[in-house]
Structure 1
Amino acid sequence: MTTIRSFLLEALQRVVDGGDIEHEELDAAVPNPLTLGPVEKDAWQQLSHWADDADIRQRDANYATFKRDWMQDRIAALKANGS
């Protein structure tokens, strides 16, 4: 398992568990997301959207729940397509 894939799994799980992620952390761990494979890129995009959407989540708890469920799906995809 690559370092980036491990980071993505950990970050996704942290969000699912009620935590958060900031762009600075995401950018430091994945400096060039254009080089990611499709499954990793999807996971990265979801984390990036999460970091962007703090204001929406603050106003709409259902949105936060939906996004956390979506993160769980990204974890399953990474595990199913992992090495």
Structure 2
Amino acid sequence: MQPRSHDVYDLKGLNCPLPVLRTRKRLAGMPRGSRIWVETTDPLAVIDIPAFCNDSGHRLISSETAADGSHRFLIERC
């Protein structure tokens, strides 16, 4: 279910606003068109990460919630 061909950025244990801030910084250093999985346990990430992608012009490819309540987002840098 998860393509491991993309980097995984583990932000589990961090709370708002750190997942968005760190994702923004990580994406800034990546070439356009590259993709990354962002993993977080922050319950607000399901709102914050899609809003960040929309506001920043990045593409949210996939959003998943695991049985343990953690979240995974596949983001393409645009």
**Normalised by the size of structure 1, how large is the TM-score?**
0.35
Say which structure is richer in helix: 1
Say which structure is richer in strand: 2
Higher relative contact order (CA 8 A, sep 6+): 1
Task: Indicate the structure (1 or 2) with the bigger Cα radius of gyration.
Answer: 1
**Normalised by the size of structure 2, how large is the TM-score?**
0.36
